[in-house]
Amino acid sequence: MSPHTAGTTAAPQAPSHPATVRTRDWMIVAAAAVLALIALYAVFVDNGNLVSATGGYLHEFSHDGRHLFGAPCH
């Protein structure tokens, strides 16, 4: 998520209208928040349903982190 935001920061096309810039910035922040929510879900809640191809791998990889931070685990 950081390369995404960094890339957009570095490319302020033209001196656009402040309102346009503000809308764009808020959209980037909203996108980052959605990504963050997905990441937290993947790490703390998913039991192998998020992407069927990952099966239990995601769950098992974050297994110790779940226990440590108090998220329910099997």
Residue 16 sits in the site that holds another protein (CB under 8 A)? no
> What's the DSSP call for residue 3?
H
Question: Of residues 44-73, which lie at the interface with another protein (CB under 8 A)?
Answer: 44-45, 47, 56-57, 60-73
Exposure of 41 by Cβ count < 10 A (0-12 exposed, 13-18 middle, 19+ buried)?
A: exposed
Helix extents (H) in 1-74: 2-9, 18-44, 57-61, 63-69
Shortest distance (Å) from residue 46 CB to another protein: 10
Q: Cβ atoms within 10 A of the Cβ of 59, count?
A: 21
Residue 4 sits in the site that holds another protein (CB under 8 A)? no
Binding residues for another protein (CB under 8 A): 1-2, 5-6, 8-9, 18-19, 21-22, 25-26, 28-29, 32-33, 35-37, 39-40, 43-45, 47, 56-57, 60-74
